[in-house]
Amino acid sequence: MKQLKVLSVASEIYPFVKTGGLADVVGALPGALAAEGIAVTTLVPGYPSVLKAIEGAETVYVYHWFYGGDARLLKAHAAGLDLMVLDAPHLYDRPGNPYVGGDGRDWPDNPIRFAALSRIAADLGLSFVPAYQPDIVHAHDWPTGLTPAFLRYSGRPHPPSVMTIHNMAFQGQYPRELLPALGLPDHAFSVGGVEYFGTIGYLKAGLQLADRITTVSPTYASEICTPEGGMGLDGLLRARGTALTGILNGIDISVWDPATDPHIAAPFDAANGAARAANKRALQERLGLAVDPDAQLFGIVSRLTWQKGLDLVLDRLGTLLADGGQLAVLGSGEPGLAEGFGLASIGNPGRVAIAHGYDEGLAHLIQAGSDVILVPSRFEPCGLTQLCALRYGAIPLVGRVGGLADTIIDANDVARAAGIGTGIQFAPVTGDQYEAALRRAAVLWRDRAYWKKLQKNAMKTDVSWLRAAASYAALYRSLLAERA
């Protein structure tokens, strides 16, 4: 089969720059797709952390006066990834994260910064760099949503495009007056183009103009077609009909491998789950929790946001602790939630602990040492933490929404009889239902023989990228077949 070239474009990529699951997916897809005969090159902004990782990269294109300053397109290979990097210091050479400055506010020029990224993706699609001509351009989330628009409004032949939604909650909406500064023609501002409720909608543009739309689970794909889940874009998505599909994420099972994980206290696998005990002890010691193998240890690794439903955990903390449970939280985000967990840890020494900030190593130890991983999300396009939890034998307790519905088999009586449960689901996502799920978790925990069975089932679940890679490959090939 002919090798396909896919240009993937995104605002973050693991291991160079990450604020959430988007980076994981963008960083893992190229490796997964290589096995399918697909060569992925990823275009990302030249943030300081990216430029540091690609010192000595080759300049393949020079832009004089590009959105307010000079810029270069660099080509590099780092951490096993083929990269194109947009080095535009006036747009990306600053501290903070890709979207916000040190004061926690969005960079005011975000519309320009991400239009520039999308513009380069389109330029590459339009063969500006003769040595690199992708067959498909694949854009991820709102920061790259204008890519299909730049392709379309170039008026030139261009490769087909795919737009992937990792999270509908972020859409990128900016005043219409920016249109000329973005480099889009007046006629782009139409319902069939980039116009979105009187503004310019970045994600909207991508969803309107890409040849195909994917999101990261089948259930989320149906949820976003409803007024409740569509966040204003459900009508458009319904109109696009079969152009939208859901492809479940995987995780990088070499990074998330309890048998070889350098971040954990003791390696283990499905056949030797008993070694988890050493990780539980290490986690309890590290976070100052009482060292007690019998306390059911609940873990959270998350961005602290409304989406993740963590206010429910605080509201119903009494139930979690009532049966001797413990809680270990790693997260960063909304100050109100961080403070809430901080106060809970002060009020319950040895029982509740919070580690603030971002800590890759501790995330691994929490997965390896917790008995349960809590993901009570209000909506969840796919979710990666429950996949890590499955792989590490921590039983996911999740809201039955989006990808959480698609990746966990609720350990109800029928599943138990069939020997197939892998976690605990609850719906709808309310405090009462969450609390009922906690009670079920406590009952299941008391039956240690069954708990071990659950862990075995969880660890046997295929959470790799294998199936997703085959689905993306099929999607790309069908797009090209259509064009031909």
Ligand X SMILES: Nc1ncnc2c1ncn2[C@@H]1O[C@H](COP(=O)(O)OP(=O)(O)O[C@H]2O[C@H](CO)[C@@H](O)[C@H](O)[C@H]2O)[C@@H](O)[C@H]1O
Q: Which residues bind ligand X (CB under 6 A)?
A: 20-22, 24-25, 166-167, 216, 249, 301-303, 330-332, 358-360, 363, 380-385, 403
Tell me whether residue 25 or residue 244 sits nearer to ligand X (CB atom). 25
163: left (phi over 0), alpha (psi -120 to 50) or beta: beta
Tell me whether residue 76 or residue 163 sits nearer to ligand X (CB atom). 163
Tell me whether residue 70 or residue 360 sits nearer to ligand X (CB atom). 360
**DSSP-derived secondary structure for 126-184:** TTSSTT---SEEEEESGGGTTHHHHHHHTTS----EEEEES-TT---EE-GGGHHHHT-
346 contacts: CB under 8 Å, gap ≥ 6: none
Query: Least distance from C-beta 132 to ligand X, angstroms?
Result: 26
Return the structure tokens found at 330. 């790693």
Residues 220 and 239: their CA atoms lie apart, in Å, by 17
Tell me whether residue 109 or residue 359 sits nearer to ligand X (CB atom). 359
Q: Which residue has the CB atom at the shortest distance from ligand X?
A: 20
Return the structure tokens found at 395. 């039983």
Query: Least distance from C-beta 78 to ligand X, angstroms?
Result: 20
Residues 120 and 101: their CA atoms lie apart, in Å, by 24
Return the ∠ at Cα 164 (arms to 23 and 232), rounded to 5°.
115
Indicate the residue type of 230. Answer: G
Query: Least distance from C-beta 35 to ligand X, angstroms?
Result: 20
Query: Least distance from C-beta 363 to ligand X, angstroms?
Result: 4
Q: What are phi and psi of 25, to 5 degrees?
A: -65, -45
For the CA atoms of 200, 204, 209, 212, the dihedral, rounded to the nearest 10 degrees, stands at: 160
Query: Least distance from C-beta 76 to ligand X, angstroms?
Result: 24
Query: Least distance from C-beta 104 to ligand X, angstroms?
Result: 16
Tell me whether residue 18 or residue 119 sits nearer to ligand X (CB atom). 18
**Residue 463 DSSP symbol:** -
Cβ density class 402-434: b for 16+ within 10 Å, e for less:
bbbbbbbbbbeeebbeeeebbbbbbeebeeebb
Query: Least distance from C-beta 455 to ligand X, angstroms?
Result: 19
Residues 60 and 135: their CA atoms lie apart, in Å, by 19
Q: What separation, in Å, do the N-terminal and C-terminal C-alpha atoms of the chain show?
A: 15
Query: Least distance from C-beta 376 to ligand X, angstroms?
Result: 12
Residues 302 and 380: their CA atoms lie apart, in Å, by 12
Residues 92 and 45: their CA atoms lie apart, in Å, by 7
Residue showing tokens 């893992």: 28
**Residue 4 DSSP symbol:** E
Find the helix or strand (DSSP H, E) in which 375 lies.
strand 372-375
Query: Least distance from C-beta 288 to ligand X, angstroms?
Result: 18
18 is in an annotated binding site: yes
370 contacts: CB under 8 Å, gap ≥ 6: 280, 283, 297, 298, 299, 328, 389, 394
- Is the preceding peptide bond at 157 cis, omega within 30 degrees of 0? no
* Closest C-alpha to 246, from 212, 226, 210, 217: 217
* Cα–chain center distance at 122: 24
Tell me whether residue 183 or residue 396 sits nearer to ligand X (CB atom). 396
Tell me whether residue 215 or residue 296 sits nearer to ligand X (CB atom). 215
Query: Least distance from C-beta 178 to ligand X, angstroms?
Result: 26
Tell me whether residue 7 or residue 25 sits nearer to ligand X (CB atom). 25
Tell me whether residue 208 or residue 214 sits nearer to ligand X (CB atom). 214
Tell me whether residue 199 or residue 249 sits nearer to ligand X (CB atom). 249
Tell me whether residue 22 or residue 124 sits nearer to ligand X (CB atom). 22
Query: Least distance from C-beta 187 to ligand X, angstroms?
Result: 33
Residues annotated in a binding site for ADP-alpha-D-glucose: 18
Residues annotated in a binding site: 18
